[in-house]
Structure 1
Amino acid sequence: MTVRWRLREIMARQRMTNKRLAEQMGVHPNAVSHLKNQDIMPRIGAETLDALCKFLECTPSDLIEYVPDEAIDEDP
């Protein structure tokens, strides 16, 4: 089982930059970059998840995707 982190996709779809999201969240752009470059869901607190959802106008289920092991094994 893998829990895929989709922040990169959500930000790209909305044309949201690291700098702009960081300013809105009140964090350093490097912090956003670190979160964005993860493929598997990082360990984040509820405050961070809440801020991401608020400023990206999405839900946690938009940011997280469950991929069963069988689907991973079947990929070419």
Structure 2
Amino acid sequence: MINIRVSELMGKKKLTQKALSDLTGIRPNTISALWYGTAKRLEIEHINQLCAALDCSPSDLLEYIPDQNKNEVDEF
């Protein structure tokens, strides 16, 4: 599972969703989806804008947490 850490980084910078939207130009609905961890995809340009606004690297935005119930990787 991928954990989106935008809300944590926003908290450290004391930014509201609206403020982050204004800083990045990313739609408020998209910022909200990132905040709640419900976003299904993330554009490379959004990653760039978020890193600039939050003064972080892409690895700070996303965290990989292995699934507890799966021991094997699904084959494609």
Give the TM-score range, shorter chain.
Answer: 0.7 to 0.9
Deviation digits for residues 25-67 of structure 1, max 9, x if unmatched?
A: 123323311221116x641111011000010000111111111
RMSD: 2.1
Aligned letter for 2:24? Answer: M
How many positions carry a matched residue from both structures? Answer: 70
1:33 alignment counterpart: 32
TM-score (norm 2): 0.76
**How far is 1:3 from its partner?**
1.4
Q: Which has the larger radius of gyration?
A: 2
Q: Structure 2: where are the runs of 5+ without partners?
A: 71-76
TM-score (norm 1): 0.76
Runs of 4 or more off by more than 6 Å in structure 1?
A: none
| Superposition map of 1:56-75 within 5 A | 56-70=54-68
Q: Structure 1: where are the runs of 5+ without partners?
A: none
Aligned letter for 2:47? Answer: L
